[in-house]
Structure 1
Amino acid sequence: MNMPSALLQLQPGTAVVYQNRLHRITHVLDLDEVLLVDDETNQVSHAKVGALETVVGGTQSVARPDLVQVLDKDWEEAKRRYEIIRPLLDKADRSRQDVTERGKTCGLHTNTLYEWIRRYEDSHLLTSLLPRIRNDKGSTKLTPEVETIIQAVVESEYLTKQRKSQQKVCDEVRKRCLYAGLEPPHDNTVRNRLKLLTGEHVMAKRRGRKAADQAYSPIEGCFPGADWPLAVVQIDHTPLDIILVDDIDRRPVNKPWITLAIDVFSRMVVGFYVSFDPPGALSAGQCLASAILPKESWLAKHDIKGEWPCWGMPAKLHMDNAREFRGNMLKRACDQYGIDIEWRPVARPHFGGHIERLLGTFAKEIHTLPGTTFSNVRERGDYDSEGKAALTLTELEEWLVTFIVNVYHQRVHSSLNMPPMEKYRRGIFGTKDSPGRGLPARITDENRLRLDLMPYEERTVQDYGVVIDEIHYYHDVLRRWINAPDLVAPKYKRKFMFRRDPRDISTIWFYDPEVDLYYPIPYRDTSHPPISIWEMREAKRRAEADGRRHVDERALFAAYDRMREIEQNAQAKTTSVRRAAQRRKHHQEVIRPLPLPVAPVAEPVPPQPQTSPAILPFDEMDDLA
């Protein structure tokens, strides 16, 4: 099966599909406009970037495994290969000599590097560099005993204030291996391990923390590495100082949370996510998806005039140490798309100054809106925040985007001495003093990106389907995997990957390992209403409070129905009820992956509750508690 590349490169010479005809880009005119030439008629066309489609190539595509299904050792090997070819990928005048020299440095054949480069440039995904299955032809891998000796010597001899030379480390490794009766590794192998150590870590161990801070810490007004657009993107979240109202009765609900992403180079806002839900893996993933994907359709849907030409993969994500940013889901997704993650050092808040200043700017503007709670009680005084509240969540989103696009991006930034939009434009197209980076590539598979950034769980497939949090799911696509044995330990049942959007758990997404695709799996009992994971947990809590020792699916949805009945009777009475109803409405409006065509649903086998597996959820789902 032929599939398009994961990224559409927006540069002269790239083949694209425009109005169902094959064209090539000849010139990039602006942040969202290009000139094209028809391959057959040579007719020149002026096109918007959003109207371009990727070309389905004739080469055989490589299957894309689910990110969390990849073995850790294979994932680390793919990352190692990427680091080896990384200096060659963006080298415009790359020659065979460059590749040969890099190969000699890393102890690899030139043809091997060319193969890795070809595979990566076909898709721009880290999974393209995964080792081929059963392709180990006796490569010289070090034994665990030798690996342990190398690590021990590096810690005791190299990363010390004595600052011993690399040759001393090589000699010590050789000596310890010979004493242990092991074949010592080549000196270059040890030196290459030392090269993999980060410069800041080495300097901190050999010269002290102060010297490392002076060499690697950012100074005021300058962030290291943020030399071009999307080189560094910072993400953070905070509650907004405003009370919102519901969409129906326009009565007060609660304060929302915002997760914001900013391009450090230009100070452009590249993405955001606003919700009544608490911060977690979902909000971090949704904000990153917003930053990567184009914004034209969102602006058109909400009838907002203005340009927001920000899209593409950031080279580095800079985030604080909050738990929602450290989940395995987010780390694997960033690795897959070639995004480096850097966490803010503990107790060093100046590392997050750019995003925090922007959040402060937003707070000042929001304090001018009706329903603001201001920053503290003294500043609020006798202002009636709930009584003055007027904006819904959707209206606040539209206000935020209008402010971002038409005010913040256009006015002079004090640190830049120019508007963020102008700084971004210069970074893209360059100036007479410095070249530009060019237009970022656009993602071509938005559905897969959203799924890769969605929380997940692992479950076995039983004869009655799949059970997650006492709720049964079934579709005929699961039939061939019922009671499938584990590939490594056949006496156990095989666990499969299921993605789940916490805002609507009526459908889960099953990753089929044979075809490397996701399929939507609905409730087994389709009469159940769509609910969020928070509503499910509240229903379970109420059922347990009613005296039930074990809450099954029927009891859970019965409790949910009672909750809805209570809410309807108390709709105009309490803020908490209005907040729950407004969250439910917002969850139903979010963009979700489009379902793939699958076979009709077959009648499932009756459930066997006693065989239901007790598997704890992953940390991403715990974040949502």
Structure 2
Amino acid sequence: MMSRFSFKNGECLCLDGSVYRISQVIGCRVQLTSFDDASITARDIDDLLARFADGQLKFLDEKEVSIEQRDLEQSRTMERGLADFSDKIQRLTLRRYKLLHEICPDGRLTIPRAALPDILRSVWEKMEPAIRGERPPCVASFYLWRRSWVHAKFDVRALIDRWENRGQKPKPIPERLAELIDEGIEKIFLTPQRESLTETLDWIQFEIEKENQRRVPEEALPSVSRRMLKRAVARIDRYAILKARFGERYAREASRVYKKGPTCTRPLERVEVDNTPLDILVIDSSTGLLLGRPWIMAMIDAYSRMVVGMHISFRRPNALTVLRCLKHAILPKNYVKDRFKSVNGEWKAYGLVHQLVCDNGLEFHAKDVEVACADLGIHVIYCPTRSPQMKGRIERFLKTLNYGLVHLQPGTTFAKYETRHTYDSEAKAVVTLEALHEIVHRWIIDIYSVTFHRGILSIPKQKWDEGIATNFPKLPPSIDFINIYLGESKTRVLTKNGIEVNSLQYASLALENLRRRCGDVEVTVRSDPDNLGTIFVLDEEARQYVEAKCTLPEYAEGITAEQHSWMLRKARKDYKTSPFRHALLAAKAALREDTAKLIEAGNSTTAKRKGKAKVKRPKANRVERELMVQNEETRPELPLEPEPDEDKSPNSQQDDQDECVDVPLFPTKRAPISRDIPQQESV
């Protein structure tokens, strides 16, 4: 019942989390004695009244002064009011209250008992017909109402009938039967197998029958009904039941009441990011073949609920996807008008993010993402595992995107398989990837950003404009900073051919200067996956990145990494079916066969010499070896060996061989000897 308090001696109150007792009241000053350390504090009554109006002071009765109820948060409870009961109980309570207020408003009854029936009737007749009832109350009932009312310090709730306490109280059951019921609930019902109450009841009945076999018929235990078992289960805390049957995490989630998330004071102060597969099948624009369900990664501003960035692709989310989405969020969206003519509005969301809130996916824990965010001054906040409510804004947006847009497009797969029914998603699919980009852009810019949002009680675009009027978005010094820090980081070796990245060669004067100073050194390379025309190489000595252009600018400029990879795969595939490849394979096979023949001939020669004494083969001197080398190299050019001249004597031939001591460094090919031209004699 609601009690009434005032600043008088003996009253207890809770102030700033501590419990005090009013020990003395002197004029407008109140002396308070602490229950914790018996310290004495003096306060003004006006100050205490102001604290009471702010909810910082609360009066306590004797029961609430106990140690278990000193916690301020747990003690902020109120009992039911008269309005929480049924209309019939309200009418009966108001009838009693008006009778007491008319006859004894201060609780003192000065009317003789003999005159009380007439006074009750006269007051009863003045009441409204809807409240007074069929007949006036009796004197005995009036005395009971008056006693309860006065003892409750004139609280009207003391006159309420406690009809919920009516009925026969359950009879106490035997102690052994209660033990069997509790044991059955613990062993059968409160288990991870989640057995039903029927199985629990059967186990209890079986144990009762076993127990009765050891008892005399007069002391046999009664059977347990299903209603009795339900009452026993109802006495157990719901959290304990859920924890035993479904686990602690499920019990905590099922019993939790979610509060409002952290508040933001300006745009881009807190940006939440997440990804999900879109519920739609996309086809190829040229062949019409199914490509599957694309993934979308989106970032939403917690202050204005404005979508600041997104990225759609067929590849599962990775570190590169996060960097691309973050780059899209930072840069202005000037491409919308040129690329999508059907979009009417403008996408004005851009700027550096202060806090990036994400889950514990591997793509967010990648080193490239953490380093890039650190370079740009972005604080990455990881939510606890299995806690999607910590970034509920982006979770809600992705669901709204699927349910509010994607499910309305042809070829949608819907959110669940059972909701498709007879809808053939593959046969209905007609949306290409480019068309999907345009549809999503139109929905975000022309619909979502101008729709009233109950979470902020405003329109996202309007809230964004109001926020940037006083907190203008910040940008890095140039686009090169974004391309470097949000690019793909790799390690390559600088050689005389420059740097090779993605099977493309890059060179520049800065790289020549770097190689002149450091030689063939391993360097860090950052490339923009959306434009392979330029890379940036880290110069460790200068402590800065230098630019390098592709040696094929007409091919690499403006091409993405995915397009280049597709072209390489296509080139290799075309080469496999090319006739040049078949000729190459045939030439390699023929060469391998000739090599095998030479090896076989060498093995046969070795086998012939096997068994003979090993003779050391003599080596030719330098001059003889050079003559033999020239002879072997010029042999294919000569149809026949040159015949010696007949007019030369053996002595002259010996002289010629002795004089031929100067051998050229490089062998020269001799022309065939003609029979018609006479040869000169050696002098």
TM-score (structure 1 length as normaliser)? 0.46
Give the number of the structure whose residues are more often helix, by fraction. 2
TM-score (structure 2 length as normaliser)? 0.42
